[in-house]
Structure 1
């Protein structure tokens, strides 16, 4: 039925927005995703696609159950075509409505009504508690079942958080079994309310563990069959279009065993199209040319669109009730929502309602990284090379293909402009290297210093000027194109690259205007090496992420759960909550609780605290450290993880110990010998081995059983205050009258220390020792804070020789 009185169908603001969208498209077809309220009135629309006079692409990834898909018929004839009816039928079966309007937005044809709004069904918390209680489904499923009261209390807290729309901060010690405690309410909520829940964790490995191990069991325990999908970022997927381009560019010079041909054979047969499915690990230089890239994606216009692995994954995500993502992907999605895509429709992820952050102690680092912006020479050259490059006498790239559609403006030598810009970018890199020759990173603090002007600002402005000149020429070229060429895939890729160049130009302009009084952002430089190429990263990092968290998460989603084994210092959440922006404004929604580990630390763990170790700053420390590590490893017959805070110190100790190692049957592994996953696999399988590691190995090492009986912590993990962002945050605390050491340095070190300590005991039956070779834990007054943050253990606080004796007696009982 055609309805000409839109009162009761659209609010006026929505109608005016739709009129504006149609005018911007010169009267062409537009596709909107609309939200309806409980009275079935369209109260919000998002513009998701634009077409021509007779068609518009239907972008399924943007559509949600209960939405209405609306498009206009410029002809004014609102009767649906056969294509409209087919689309409406498919969407209607998913609970999505389908409307057609005219260009005046004063008449509507309702083809399919959306599913009616239904109120949320609250979780039966007692019923969920019983799943994990004695006599419940878990006890029947697991022959080794033991009641874990802390696990049940955690589940209870999270379930109430779902019902009452709370922000739950839960520290769950190792062995609590927090995965079931959040998966059960997540699955139940998604099942009874048909609302999507996102579970975000630190790494893809943890995503896979949840999907392959924990989720299938949780589904059985709940009696649900909620569709759950592991969502990966675009770069994990092969792009058939880019693969074909790479093959075409190299067709004259390819060997039979060329890696691209191997990838092509795999791509023709793969089911999911992710790099993890490849039977070999391609070089990053090759994979970056053929993986999915948003700047080279033509969407429905791509000839491989129907077989696109990214679109397939997006469709699966849109049909799922639970999405398992990593923190990086979550913040990529959040960034798009904050910057204009909104929170109701789809961005990278489809819309969702509840969020669970596992490994939440990593959130600040993940968010800081994602909300930073940067420029570097290799990034710029990547896009310049996509525009134009030469290989063995052949001219290749988007601009050579664009010339076949439209020659460049008269007198334009774009190849020369690109070469000049490339040279200027290299000059900027060289001078930037010279700006901080002896450091790895540097924070900009003095914009009046002559070295800053000569080595950073002036070459940076010259780079931006040459980039702006190229962009101006490319824009003139685009203006010469006929309108009918604008939808050509070559032109679309050209526009995407120009947009990216504009972003770099904007960044360079902002960086050149660095102000020494800037308080909200940190401007800094970092030296990097990739594939043998040295370059400098120019980075702008937010000093504080609490505003992003409030706007993007706390104000936008009903329930947020943060959980980790380490969120407190000295039994207090204050440090972590302050960093997350949870103090002083959200107390009525905030629930913070600790759930103790059920593991028998008091019987199974010896904490060794030698009281005769030299101070770490002393000249004698290194020699004593090498000797102590060697004695501990020999006494324990390997089976150890040695944790450092510096790679240089790690290498020093490893080299000296290896040189004098008398137990050839015990392998000594060192971080850096091979990639992290393979190194950990070898360490876990070789039950007598030792792993020397730093940085990320303080967490995420899960090696239960005989392979790990000893953790050696060489130094308390205080961060070196030369890190530019950390340095700026310390200064910010001091400026507001706080104590930087007590408010930032100490809490951060304690949390990392607890992570390192937690590597030892991964199962209830594990038994071993943690030895701390840093005397400050005994001699300094803050050392007691580290000790109070650990579970109760057997303690050996003696001279090193006596600690070693206690270790032998404990291990070989």
Structure 2
């Protein structure tokens, strides 16, 4: 193999870098030298070699983590892939990259090394085939990236040719090629025509096709959910359907069927809301059945997320303007520029921007290109007509199906309660998470980070350097014009905001040298927490009750309340000035300007009503008992011994109360569905826990309720084992159990943990033994990969092991043999913090603890079976599991309490038996 050779093609010349190839597998590294020789070395030897010559790798950061070294220079094939195939993704592994470029993936490290060399050649060959504007754009961008030090630039430029000319931004201004969103006439009022059970069943049959197997549960589910798509009888009495559909029911297509008919009949969108971005993506994929034409789907279906998920073109342009002094960023910006020209909707988080690219280039470097702080200037922006967020918003007004998330739905409803355009029909999938989502959306946190963020939103950047943090003055001055009252209110608001925490506030608070009333308040809050919490030196978050305050807190609270009043008053006046402009200049204002004013007023109202007003309510009531509906506490948030935030926290004891008031009651029809709405410990006819967790108990009329059992044979397809002789608090024993169980299953194992430190301890102990057994180990908080990427790898690599915490337990959908074993480290009891203490008291004491724990076990166990031929073993390493919690599992499944030795044997034999049976069926 001669890696120096140049290959000529009609479109350009392939020039391969003269570097070795590195593949890390387990505890060994495979090298392919520039002379074509292959050898295997240890991780330690590889750590020495990489300093001599930058190797060809896949995901240099993860390789560095495996080698135990700092990130090192390398030719990362993922960057070349992202440049060649913008807005496409692949698994960030040797096998994943090979598959993505059309090569045959291999499990053998030597073949993988050869495959990476071939993948490099394939990608460069494809670049030689670029034509016209695509080639010119790629050449210009590669030139800028090369000048910034991108090591792939010589090879890329050889393939695409040198750029024809220079532009202002060196070709990175790819937004110039984006289309503008079109204007449409306002939509007429929606109809209110019912969807029948028959229509829902018929649409489902149409989506499934004539050759689909009969699934009566799915058809019944679809028919039942159609009851949410009929006109309501009176105000604040929506048609609510609580539908618990067991795993394998096929609920997604089940509710899409009546929802799509309703949208078509009535000319108005149905909003489908999820808790996780993974499910948003899965629902979007399922809609391909409803809209087989990509152009029709683009028109009829839209994915909506918060503004912070989308690229802001103005932020990107302003980043380029500082590019001459920021050479290190131009490589990342070049890859983003390539993505801009190809993206479907500009979604950087969970969309078509590869999540591994965000980790490779630096998450903060990429996410700051989004509108994270609500600083949009709307129609005053030169990119307004091409804005990804505006396109998404406008598409959702004409779409039939909008796929959103719980957080966005709740914030929209809370900030725009009188907006006639708010959705009237919802489907809440992952309904068991509504309680948590509402808890986050309707809480009031008077903390350093929250108030510093408000300061930035109003006053802009405090630093002397150029910043993309635009304050209200930059965003609104031209709208206010010469209105003296408005100008005065704006200046008063800016001056008042500057009394809130500024950059470096945490250090000043820690040192007892506050600047302003909020920082002074935080100094005293911190003192009370440290004086009264159990472990002030803990590396984790600490808290104490919000009561019996130290003498300094009340006077500082009064000062802070005065400062917040001095901020709220001019903000209110400013909003009134803008609303007056809408009224008095109605004939002259252009539509875009009206939208901009409306957005500004909404932004001010959101900060006033959801932040400042609740904060002031807290401060005014410090001398009185906490209102019955709330729980208050003081806390210092820490991770790894580092203080991140601190302040006064308030949550609803029952956050579904504001959820019901702002969303359920104003709506006309709502489907709330999940596989785990109810607590199995209740009577078969009891829906008490489902009503409580979804807010249905706050409604005048009860919801329609339906439970559809899973079609799976759990007793035949699964085993549940409680290990009786492993001490859950002895991490060596826990690690040994994980090691042997994962080896017994041959991989395909998901390890779940109740704490990050426990995960890290087990990961350290089992990494080498699993590598020696030929099993790849991946872990949250250990690998330089985000959770969704780790799950994607785990799904694809059938014999790998993945360790994770709550995000993995709730968000994994891994059909097939890639998941055949789940090991839970101990009982997932609720975290015993002050907020939980208040809810435990309100919702039934220890029964509430049991209920939450059963639901977590139920959700985890539910990961095992996703389709008919799945099978698996669920193992709990906690002999203290009470018998009252076994109802978390299907009643037909025997809970076997075994010693570790017998548990390992049962796991090995059960999995081998199932795989042999499947193999025989395939052969037969």
| TM-score > 0.5, shorter chain as reference | yes
Distance 1:770 1:655 in 2: 23
1:129-160 deviation per Cα after TM superposition (whole angstroms, max 9, x unaligned): 25556xx66342x5xx3211111111121124
- State yes or no: 1:772 paired with 2:876: yes
Q: Does 1:716 align with 2:820?
A: no
Query: Is residue 884 of structure 2 the alignment partner of residue 805 of structure 1?
Result: no
Counterpart residue number, 1:215: 287
Per the alignment, residue 676 of structure 1 pairs with 787
Question: Paired residue for 1:605, among 710, 713, 718?
Answer: 718
1:320 corresponding residue in structure 2: 399
Q: What is the alpha-carbon distance in structure 2 between the residues aligned to residue 582 and residue 516 of structure 1?
A: 29
Deviation of 1:754 (Å): 0.6
The residue number in structure 1 matching 2:254 is 181
Aligned residue number for residue 388 of structure 2: 309
Aligned partner of residue 575 in structure 1, secondary structure: helix
Measured after TM superposition, the shift of residue 707 of structure 1 is: 1.9
Query: What is the alpha-carbon distance in structure 1 between the residues aligned to residue 218 and residue 441 of structure 2?
Result: 32
Q: Within 5 Å, which residues of 2 pair with 1:374-773?
A: 374-382=445-453, 384-385=455-456, 386-391=459-464, 418=498, 422=502, 423-424=515-516, 425-426=518-519, 428-429=521-522, 431-434=524-527, 435-436=529-530, 437-438=536-537, 440-441=540-541, 445-450=545-550, 453-454=551-552, 456-463=553-560, 506-512=613-619, 513-514=621-622, 515-528=624-637, 534-570=644-680, 571=684, 572-583=686-697, 586-587=700-701, 589-614=702-727, 616=728, 622-658=731-767, 661=770, 663-673=772-782, 674-722=785-833, 724-733=834-843, 739-742=844-847, 744-773=848-877
Could you say if the C-alpha distance between residues 429 and 684 of structure 1 is closer, same or farther in structure 2, counting changes exceeding 3 Å? farther
- The superposition leaves residues 272-310 of structure 1 with CA deviations (integer Å, 9 ceiling, x where unpaired) of 333244464265544565423674334444443323322
Structure 1 residues 446 and 270: alpha-carbon distance in aligned structure 2, compared to 1, 3 A threshold: closer
- Secondary structure of 2:672's match? strand
Matched residue SS, 1:763: coil
Shift of 1:459: 4.7
Q: Which deviates the most, 649-658 or 696-705? A: 649-658
Distance 1:251 1:300, change over 3 A: same
Distance 1:647 1:354 in 2: 39
The secondary structure found in structure 2 opposite 1:541 is strand
**Offset at 1:403?**
11
After superposition, the C-alpha distances for 1:198-230 in whole angstroms (9 at most, x for unaligned) are 111112221121112x11213579xx9882221
What is residue 884 of structure 2 aligned with on the other side? 782
| Aligned 8 A contact 1:233 1:329 in 2 | yes
**CA-to-partner distance for each residue in 1:524-563, whole Å, 9 max, x for gaps?**
3444469987322543211113432432334222221111
Structure 2 Cα separation of the partners of residues 438 and 658 of structure 1: 31
**Equivalence map 1:334-345=2 (5 Å):** 334-338=413-417, 341-342=418-419, 345=420
TM-score, scaled relative to structure 2: 0.63
Equivalent position SS for 1:765: coil
1:685, distance to aligned residue in structure 2 (A): 2.6
User: How far 1:173 moved relative to its partner?
Assistant: 1.0
Deviation at 1:183, TM superposition (A): 0.5
- Indicate the residue corresponding to 1:15 in structure 2: none
2:270–2:423 contact (8 Å) kept in structure 1: yes
Distance 1:600 1:263 in 2: 48
Paired position in structure 2 for 1:793: 893
Match of 2:208 in 1: 138
Q: 1:300-329: per-residue Cα shift (whole Å, max 9, x none)?
A: 444433233222222111111221111111
Aligned partners of 2:870, 2:451: CA distance in 1, in Å?
51
Cα distance in structure 1, aligned partners of 2:413 and 2:333: 34
Q: Give the equivalent residue in structure 1 for 2:215.
A: 148
State the SS of the aligned residue for 2:811: coil
**Aligned-residue offset at 1:729:** 0.9
In structure 2, list runs of 5 or more residues that go unmatched.
1-182, 233-238, 503-514, 531-535, 914-924
C-alpha offsets along residues 485-544 of structure 1, whole Å, 9 cap, x if unaligned? Answer: x99999999999987886765454333233434212222344446998732254321111
Q: CA deviation at 1:472?
A: 8.5
SS in 2 for 1:174: coil
The reply to whether residue 158 of structure 1 matches residue 269 of structure 2 is no
Provide closer, same or farther for how the CA distance between residues 398 and 680 of structure 1 changes in structure 2, counting only shifts above 3 A. closer
The residue aligned with 2:159 is none
Larger mean Cα displacement after TM superposition, 601-610 or 496-505: 496-505
**Contact 1:639-1:710 within 8 A present in 2 as well:** yes
Aligned equivalent of 2:78: none
Distance 2:259 2:477 in 1: 54
- What secondary structure sits across from 1:608 in the alignment? strand
Q: Deviations over 1:541-600 (max 9, x none)?
A: 11113432432334222221111111111244211212334348545x522121111122
CA contact (8 A) 2:249 2:711 kept: yes
CA offset digits 1:53-82 (Å, max 9, x no partner): xxxxxxxxxxxxxxxxxxxxxxxxxxxxxx
Deviation at residue 751 of structure 1 after TM alignment: 1.0
SS in 1 for 2:711: coil
1:718-763 C-alpha deviation (Å, 9 max, x unpaired): 11221x3222111223xxxxx3111x21111111101110111222
Higher mean displacement: 176-185 or 674-683: 674-683
- Offset, 1:394: 11
Name the structure 2 match of 1:85: none
Q: Greater CA deviation, 239-248 or 493-502?
A: 493-502
**Equivalent in the alignment of 1:70:** none
Distance 1:628 1:310, change over 3 A: closer
Instruction: Report which stretch shifted further, 310-319 or 378-387.
Output: 378-387
Residue 243 (structure 2) pairs with residue 170 (structure 1): yes
Asked if structure 1 preserves the Cα contact closer than 8 Å seen for 2:415 and 2:602, the reply is: no
- Structure 1, unaligned stretches of length 5 or more? 1-89, 97-114, 734-738
SS at structure 1 position matched to 2:898: coil
Alignment RMSD (CA, Å): 4.4
Larger mean Cα displacement after TM superposition, 694-703 or 535-544: 535-544
Structure 1 pair 495/580, CA: closer, same or farther in 2 (3 Å)?
Answer: closer
The 1:496/1:251 distance shift into structure 2, 3 A limit, reads farther
Q: Name the SS of the counterpart of 1:665 in structure 2.
A: coil
Where 2:830 maps in the other structure, the secondary structure is coil
Q: Distance in 2 between matches of 1:477 and 1:662?
A: 63
| Contact 1:443/1:524 (8 A) holds in 2 | yes
1:189 Cα deviation after fit = 1.5
User: What is the SS of the residue equivalent to 2:817?
Assistant: helix
Contact 2:191 2:265 in 1 (8 A): no
SS in 1 for 2:271: strand
